[in-house]
Amino acid sequence: MRRLAALALLGVVAAGCSGGDSPSSTPSVPSRGETAGEAITRQFMLLSQGQVGRLWEEMHPAHQQLISRSTYMLCTRDMPIELTGVEVIDTYPERYTIPGTNVETDSTAVTFTVEQPGGGSWTDTSHEVKVRGRWRFTVADPDGCLSTARRNE
């Protein structure tokens, strides 16, 4: 269930990185030249640390119009997820329609594995979109996020 919640809250659009990063080795602020894989790793670390206000700032503008910062805070109230690392397996360019919108854009799909305490892990693919030189994530299920926020009010 936590896996699905994390994916619903952090469904991203990306470009090129490999290897795993632990929470302590991942910067919490974007750097110039950051790859999409590095961005998604950093964004998952922000989510796991409960830094959802900072994470909202990295949400795609089309989703920021649908989901206010305060709504996103309510939506993610049951976070953070526990993780010990994120390993980027593959990245590739892909046209992508941002969920809940009519916005179609170039993105980078990022296939990754999230490692959890106790040896558990899960693998999925998400997207990162570059907006004004910065990677932005999209919410995989914006309606689900809005519903969760209403329940958490």
Domains of the chain: 2-152 (3.10.450)
What pLDDT shows up at residue 81?
76
Task: Flag whether pLDDT at 28 surpasses 80.
Answer: no
Spell out the SS3 assignment of the chain: CHHHHHHHHCEECCCCCCEEECHHHCCCCCCCCCCHHHHHHHHHHHHHCCCHHHHHCCECHHHHHHCCHHHHHHHCCCCCCCCCEEEEEEEEEEEEECCCCCCEEEEEEEEEEEECHHHCEEEEEEEEEEECCEEEEECCCHHHHHHHHHHHC
- Of 17-21, 39-43, 45-49, the poorest mean pLDDT is in 17-21
pLDDT tens-place string over residues 48-72: 888 889 999 999 999 999 999 999 9
Task: Report the range out of 44-58, 63-77, 88-102, 138-152 with the highest average pLDDT.
Answer: 88-102
What pLDDT shows up at residue 29?
61
